[in-house]
Amino acid sequence: MTPLSAIVIGAGIGGIAAATHLARRGWQVTVVEKNFRPGGRCDYFARDGHRFDTGPTLFIMPHVFEAEFAALGTPLREMLALQRVDPSYRLVFDDGSQLVLTSDMTSTCEQLESIEPGSFQGYLRYMEEGHRHYHLAMARLVNKDFRTAPEFFNLSNVPLLFRLKPLVGHYRNMAAYFTEPRLKAAFTFQDVYMGLSPFEAPATFSMMPYTELAHGVWYPRGGMYQIVEALVELAYRAGVEFVFDAEVARIEVHGTCARGVTLADGRRLEADTIVANADLPYVYRHLLPADGAAERLARKRYSCSTISFFWGVDRPYQELGPHTLFLADDYRENFTSIIRDLALPDNPSLYVHVPARLDASMAPPGEDTLTAIVPVGHLDETGEQDWSEIRLGITDLEAHLKFEVCYLPLSWQKRYNLMKGSTHGLCHTLTQLGYFRPHNRHAYYRNLYFVGASTHPGTGAPTALISARLAVERILDDRGQSR
């Protein structure tokens, strides 16, 4: 009997995982990728002995990774050498004060009480809420595939309106725990991972600081790209075929079916099922026949973008830990500039990652590898914002700079086909979550499925793995196959 076949467009984390799930069930799977290697936005580059992760730099939600690697047939820790990063961050405020986020409760208590007397009890209550939000959201929302409206809008989900606080703003909710603005910022800045401002994000997202502090921030030896390497190895073991430097020009459709893909060089590939791991708005606008869906997606809210600086320097900066975040006092104005004005804030917050603190092989001996990331607005309709006014750096950085590489919003758009250069895809507002988020199967082409940041459940490496599993479960159900 001829096995069923699938073509996966895009070798991002979700695409590789979806391909592996299908191949493990006997499917013949080919992954076509426009770039010369897999990974999508979880990418890297090396230069003069320095190695940079250009996408995610934080390995968070380890329980999700463990569950999803197990679903792929292999224990996570057989594939990755993980070390916990504790303290996870050092936060530096404009007045020079600092807060080290750590699992050490004695240290946390001392630090919080020095900033705001009585705040440690507020912190414990906030972590308790985060615990509830994390476990409820993962079980009832993130790991559920809402294929029909009644699966989402039902009486059993009504209590979630009160238990998950989706109608309460995250930053406003912080008043129940802290009065000091620095502490409110310290436990809401993680909303930027969702491409959101804490002033519009639902309080549900207290689950993010909770999982970082309770489950840990981790680092794979060799860098975050090792996640991709591990997934590719599992894919090859399952029999997946990869075709690189193969940009898809269009998805071939006939009636209500997707028949295959045509590559930019004219080659045509056919399959029983198509799985698109390319950026969802890009797929609708550039790979499918025009039917109004691309325009509807364009009107949705998109996440912010980033300007990322990659610096190779000829001396170590030991004063910088693995993850340092410089948080601006004008916290609200920062997010207003990014989300509403699509601009660079006057006094931007800045995240600096120094991987050699965790893995000496990431920089030559006696030198350092620095990544500095500034959240900015996504591309506007012209795509011509001027980012030249940005001025960042360490006091003597220029004197020790060997080279600088910079990724702008336009870089993300060109390298990874990200609409508007939005690094997190569609943002995670309440009206773009759960059933309201684009579904993982096309409404008309019934054998075309979607995986990735702009589909349910959302952005991030761990959720990409969940997105892949949910999409494959739907494929198998549609085919009447056992999961």
From first to last of its 483 residues, what are the pLDDT tens digits of the chain? 789 999 999 999 999 999 999 999 999 999 999 999 999 999 999 999 999 999 999 999 999 999 999 999 999 999 999 999 999 999 999 888 999 999 999 999 999 999 999 999 999 999 999 999 999 999 999 999 999 999 999 999 999 999 999 999 999 999 999 999 999 999 999 998 777 889 999 999 999 999 999 999 999 999 999 999 999 999 999 999 999 999 999 999 999 999 999 999 999 999 999 999 999 999 999 999 998 899 999 999 998 888 899 999 999 999 999 999 999 888 888 888 877 777 777 788 889 999 999 999 999 999 999 999 988 878 765 555 554 444 454 567 778 889 999 998 888 999 999 998 888 999 998 899 999 999 999 999 999 999 999 999 999 999 999 999 999 999 999 998 877
Residues belonging to the chain:
483
pLDDT reported for residue 376: 82
pLDDT reported for residue 195: 78
Distance CA 290, CA 175 (A): 47
pLDDT reported for residue 347: 81
- Cα–Cα distances (Å) from 243 to 37, 161, 221, in that order, read 9, 45, 27
Q: Across-strand partners of 373?
A: 308, 351
If DSSP codes are grouped into helix, strand and coil, which group holds residue 379? coil
Is residue 302 within 8 A of residue 422, CB to CB? The reply is yes
Encode burial over 135-171: b for 16+ CB neighbours within 10 A, e otherwise: ebbbebbbebbbbeeeeeeeeebeebeeebbbeebbb
pLDDT reported for residue 382: 56
- pTM (2 d.p.): 0.94
Q: Across-strand partners of 261?
A: 251, 269
If DSSP codes are grouped into helix, strand and coil, which group holds residue 368? strand
Q: Are strands 268-270 and 257-263 parallel, antiparallel or unpaired?
A: antiparallel
DSSP 191: G
Is residue 56 within 8 A of residue 42, CB to CB? The reply is yes
- Cα–Cα distances (Å) from 156 to 95, 139, 152, 163, 481, in that order, read 48, 13, 9, 12, 29
Burial grade of 49 (CB within 10 A; 0-12, 13-18, 19 or more): middle
Token code pair at residue 63: 């329980």
Distance CA 228, CA 233 (A): 9
User: In 3D, which of 412, 306, 243, 279 has the Cα closest to residue 12?
Assistant: 279
Q: How would DSSP label each residue in 409-437? A: HHHHHHHH--GGG-TTSB---GGGSGGGS
User: In 3D, which of 251, 250, 249, 248 has the Cα closest to residue 445?
Assistant: 251
**Residue in the structure block whose two tokens are 């993982």:** 440
pLDDT reported for residue 341: 74
Is residue 190 within 8 A of residue 208, CB to CB? The reply is yes
pLDDT reported for residue 459: 92
pLDDT reported for residue 387: 45
User: In 3D, which of 38, 9, 31 has the Cα closest to residue 448?
Assistant: 9
